[in-house]
Chains A and B, each alone.
Chain A
Amino acid sequence: MSHSGKESLLSVKDVKVHFPVRSGLMLRQTGKVKAVDGVSLEIGEGETVGLVGESGCGKSTLAKAVVRLLKPNAGSVVFEGTDITRLSSRALRPLRSDMQMIFQDPVESLNPRQSVRQIIEEPLIIHREGDVAARRRRVDELLERVGLPANSGEKFAFEFSGGQRQRIGIARAIALNPKLIVCDEPVSALDVSVQSQIVNLLLELQREMGISYLFIAHDLAVVQHVSDRVAVMYLGKIVELATAEAIYQRPYHAYTKALLSAIPEADPTADRERILLEGDVPSPINPPAGSAFGHRISHPRYEETIGQDLSLVEIEPGHWVARDPCCLSEEDWNEVQ
């Protein structure tokens, strides 16, 4: 599938993550949630790939599968040439220092009983980096790097504001000089003026340390701003993947178009056509047999898509879109054929 041109750091191939649904007295498996259903994605060195989609589309599950917090049911995840899909947690440990995660809610992801110093130091201890004095220096360095006051180390997470807590999370994530950070909605819970501070910090760190990001957010404007490429996810599948610019300038997929048109724009004079989607994302428990989006918008060609291969096809160099007659304009569909 698509290459960004850069050396790829992470390569995800046809990954599926299914959760069993159990019900009844014996808790027999009665179905499965196809949270991620065949996703392929590559992230290059120093690249940011944005991942957008509605809640429940499988973004966070994919993120966890990428860093192997979840074991995919099928497919492969290759990180720096090592297939980590089936590695045991012991074998994974040395690789863990290269892939870190930043979470949406900095309150829940920071231990309330640990001081900030303990929180940031923990990865250093686990990976046996330096002695006590060296670690102490490193934590001070990290605090300064993420823009926290020098005395923050001795405080507890609850003593900080939302933006500062997110900085603590970032300091912890960069402590081991990772190559990849998965950011799961890192700025969604923050106010705009703080959000821009955190976005700037993430961009600076990337320039300095050459970190790659998988950046998940539902705020499309933020995603567009930080990403090199953007993947649009719908019901467990990527439906469009292209450079950030191309996605916003020339979206092909009907869902991408609807998603973009729904962003409220901070310009009261803007005259835009809004594509209102009816209904919600269908349940991933029993997804429609054919095109999931075609089903939602009751597209007349939905029947045709049942049993068909709706995988991504390169419609323009570097611009991939699902081969789905329900979601492409007639012209684009003919081009794909």
Chain B
Amino acid sequence: MKEVNPVRVVDQEVYRQHDSESHDLLQVRGLESAFDTERGLLKAVDGVSFSVARGQTLGIVGESGCGKSVTAMSLISLLPRPAGKVLAGEVLFNGEDLLKVSENRLHEVRGGEIGTIFQEPMTALNPVHRIGRQVSEVFRLHKKLNKKEAWEASIEALRMTRIPSPEVRVGDYPHQLSGGMRQRVVIAMALACQPDLLIADEPTTALDVTVQAQILDLIQGLQAEMGMAAILITHDLGVIAENCDEVVVMYAGRIVERAPVKELFANPLHAYTRGLLNSIPRLSLPPKSELNTIPGMVASLSEMACGCRFCQRMGRESSLGDKRPEFREVSPGHWVEACPECYGEEAQEIA
């Protein structure tokens, strides 16, 4: 599998195409998304490429503002309009470019072939409608069921997400449910039509650890049952480690590293990935010892460098100058943004 992130060479987008492999459900190539603001066009996602194979889980990890949610929203054209727009790239889902299809087709895809779960279940649900009506809507729109059939199907969907006594709960309003139960309702809606791909954006961030474990366990179980692929977006490396097959690490709108999950944790190559992994408190560390930190802060979008952005944060000159580091496959399946300062012999020592 060959794949390269767009490389910026003198203001010119050059990127090699994938060798298209039939088993990839989703292929994202050179995705660029931006927001039109008073300060001009700000690029939140700057040339991101990845793919998701059928039945696999891809984790996207990064800190707030790195563009992981904007990437997810771009895939199904859900960027807030009119400010947000996709500038370039391709999103091939089952071979069809979702950035080019009609609005009607997008309606079919969202909730039909691609299910989504967002962080805050309370805002995803309408507070003035009963749970049953909201879940029914999915069946009525996508499966063209009548009211009664859809209601019955909703009860089954809620049962699938292991909500206790779904035939009673279906008549409840969202505020009558706990956070974990609400998230189960959202999952029931997302998976109602047995989608091929689930996009879960911080699905458990608002929940307690015990409930988080239940929800992630549920998603994994249903995924295995339905053979569904998933994109799991989170800032929690623990969640990534336990739930993903492959991981993409994003920093400042770009992918800095991509690898199978075990490889990434065993052998992180980019200085940013190492920094992230080192800053988590671990049970094995001596208590009250100093934790590793990543100095500096992410630059604001309007001040983003063209060259290596992690060097910019660390306040050092990249030897590549303003040239965007190449995204290189350094061992099978392990890709890294090859800025000499962030990846390489010296970089290992700095990290």
B213–A274 contact, CB under 8 A?
yes
B63 touches A191 (CB 8 A): yes
Residues of A within 8 A of B213 (CB): 261-262, 264, 274, 276-277
- Whether A244 lies near B293 (C-beta < 8 A) is no
B285 touches A225 (CB 8 A): yes
Query: Could you tell me if A193 and B294 are in contact, using CB atoms closer than 8 angstroms?
Result: yes
Is A161 an interface residue when CB atoms closer than 8 A count as contact? yes
Interfacial residues of chain A within 120-158, with CB under 8 A of chain B in the complex: none
| A263 in contact with B209 (CB, 8 Å) | yes
User: In the bound complex, what is the Cα–Cα distance between A165 and B96 (angstroms)?
Assistant: 45
The answer to whether A54 and B63 touch across the interface, beta carbons within 8 angstroms, is: no
* Structural contact, A265 and B287, CB atoms closer than 8 A: no
**Residue among A55, A194, A203, A268 facing the most chain B CB atoms (10 A cut-off):** A268
| Nearest CB in chain B: distance from A57 CB, A | 9
Return chain A residues, CB-CB under 8 Å to B292: 196
B211 touches A280 (CB 8 A): yes
Residue contact A192 to B262, C-beta cutoff 8 Å: no
Q: With the chains together, A227 CA to B55 CA distance in Å?
A: 41
Contact with B along A203-235 (1 / 0, CB 8 A): 100000000000000101110111110000000
Give the complex CA separation of A50 and B172 in angstroms: 37
In angstroms, Cα B64 to Cα A195, docked, is 12
Q: How far is the CA of A225 from the CA of B292 in the complex (A)?
A: 13
> Contact at B217–A276, with CB atoms within 8 Å?
yes
Most A CB contacts (10 A, CB to CB) among B63, B217, B236, B287 go to B287
In the complex, chain A residues whose CB is within 8 Å of the CB of B262: 268-269
**A191, closest chain B residue (CB):** B63
> In the complex the two chains form, is A192's CB within 8 Å of B237's CB?
yes
Interface residues on A, range: 35 or more
Whether the Cβ atoms of B178 and A280 lie closer than 8 Å is yes
In the complex, which of the residues B211, B217, B261, B275 has the most CB atoms of chain A within 10 Å of its own CB atom?
B211
Query: How many whole Å from B47's CB to the nearest CB in chain A?
Result: 23
A43 part of interface (Cβ distance < 8 Å): no
Tell whether, in the assembled complex, residue B261 and residue A196 are in contact, meaning their CB atoms are under 8 Å apart: no
Interface residue from B261, B275, B287 paired with A193 (Cβ < 8 Å): B275
User: Within B214-267, which residues are at the interface with A (CB < 8 Å)?
Assistant: 214, 216-217, 235-243, 261-262, 265-266
Q: B238–A274 contact, CB under 8 A? A: no
Chain A residues with Cβ under 8 A from B92's Cβ?
none
Complex interface: chain B residues within 8 A of A220 (CB): 209
State which residues 191-228 of B face A: CB under 8 Å.
Answer: 208-214, 216-217
Contact residue among A197, A221, A225, A263 (Cβ-Cβ distance under 8 Å from B288): A225
Question: What separation, in Å, do the CA atoms of A280 and B275 have in the docked complex?
Answer: 35
Contact B209 A221 (CB under 8 A): no
Q: Report yes or no: B283 in contact with A221, Cβ–Cβ below 8 A.
A: yes
Is the interface on chain B under 10, 10 to 19, 20 to 34, or 35 or more residues? 35 or more
Does A333 belong to the interface (CB within 8 Å)? no
Does residue A27 face the partner (Cβ distance < 8 Å to B)?
Answer: no
B290 on the A face (CB < 8 A): yes
Q: Do A222 and B287 contact each other (CB < 8 Å), given the known contacts A262-B210, A267-B241?
A: no
Bound CA span A59–B208, Å = 13
For B238, the closest partner residue in chain A by CB is A264
**Please, what's the 1-or-0 string for A266-286, where 1 marks a CB less than 8 Å from any CB in chain B?**
111110001011111000000
Closest CB in chain B relative to A274 CB, distance in Å? 6
Cβ-defined contact, B297 with A161, below 8 A? yes
Q: Are B276 and A192 in contact (CB under 8 A)?
A: yes
The answer, yes or no, to whether A19 is at the interface (CB within 8 Å) is: no
Interface string of B18-29 (1 = CB under 8 A from A): 000000000000
B257 shortest CB reach to chain A, Å: 15
A316 part of interface (Cβ distance < 8 Å)? no
A192 to B289, CA, bound (A): 16
Chain A residues with CB under 8 Å of B210's CB are 54, 258-259, 262, 277
Q: How long is the Cα–Cα vector from A261 to B293 in the complex, in angstroms?
A: 26
> Does A268 contact B261, Cβ atoms closer than 8 Å?
yes
Across the interface, do A55 and B208 meet the contact criterion of CB distance under 8 Å?
yes
A8→B288 CA distance, assembly (Å): 20
Partner of A248 from the list B217, B276, B283, B290 (CB cut-off 8 Å) is B283
Interface residues in B307-341 by Cβ distance below 8 A to A read none
Interface residues of A in 95-141 (CB under 8 A from B): none
B261: which A residues are within 8 A, CB to CB?
268
Q: For residues 266 through 285 of chain B, which have their beta carbon under 8 Å from a beta carbon of chain A?
A: 266, 275-277, 279-283, 285
Per the bound structure, the CA–CA distance linking A227 and B285 in Å amounts to 13
Are B279 and A266 in contact, with the CB atoms below 8 A? no
- B206 to chain A: closest residue by CB: A55
Measured between C-beta atoms, what is the minimum distance from A242 to chain B in Å? 13
Chain A residue with the shortest CB-CB distance to B217: A276
Judge whether B209 and A224 touch: CB under 8 Å.
no
Query: Is the CB of B30 closer than 8 A to any CB of chain A?
Result: no
In the complex the two chains form, what is the Cα distance from A227 to B283 in whole Å? 12
Decide if A192 touches B217 in the complex (CB within 8 Å).
Answer: no
Chain B CB within 8 A of A304 CB:
no
Asked if B214 and A227 make an inter-chain contact with CB atoms under 8 angstroms apart, the answer reads no
Instruction: Tell me the smallest distance from the CB of A236 to a CB of chain B, in Å.
Output: 16
A309 within 8 A of B: no
Contact status A263-B63, CB under 8 Å: no
CB-based contact B214/A196 at 8 Å: no
Which of B242, B279, B285 is close to A192, meaning CB atoms less than 8 Å apart?
A: B279
How far is A55 from B240 in the complex, measured between Cα atoms in Å? 23
- Check: A245 CB closer than 8 A to any chain B CB: yes
Residue of chain B at shortest CB distance from A224: B283
Q: Which residues of A contact B189 (CB under 8 A)?
A: none
| Beta-carbon nearest neighbor of A227 in chain B | B287
B98-137 CB mask vs A (1 if < 8 Å, else 0) is 0000000000000000000000000000000000000000
Give me 19 other A-B pairs in contact (C-beta within 8 A), A54-B209, A266-B240 excluded: A54-B208, A162-B64, A191-B235, A192-B279, A195-B279, A196-B279, A196-B281, A197-B293, A199-B291, A245-B287, A248-B283, A264-B213, A266-B237, A266-B238, A266-B265, A268-B242, A268-B261, A276-B214, A278-B214
A-B CB contact pairs (8 Å), 26 listed? A55-B179, A162-B64, A191-B64, A192-B276, A193-B279, A193-B293, A194-B63, A195-B279, A197-B293, A199-B281, A200-B290, A203-B288, A218-B209, A221-B283, A224-B281, A225-B281, A262-B209, A262-B210, A263-B238, A264-B236, A264-B238, A264-B239, A267-B265, A269-B265, A270-B241, A274-B213
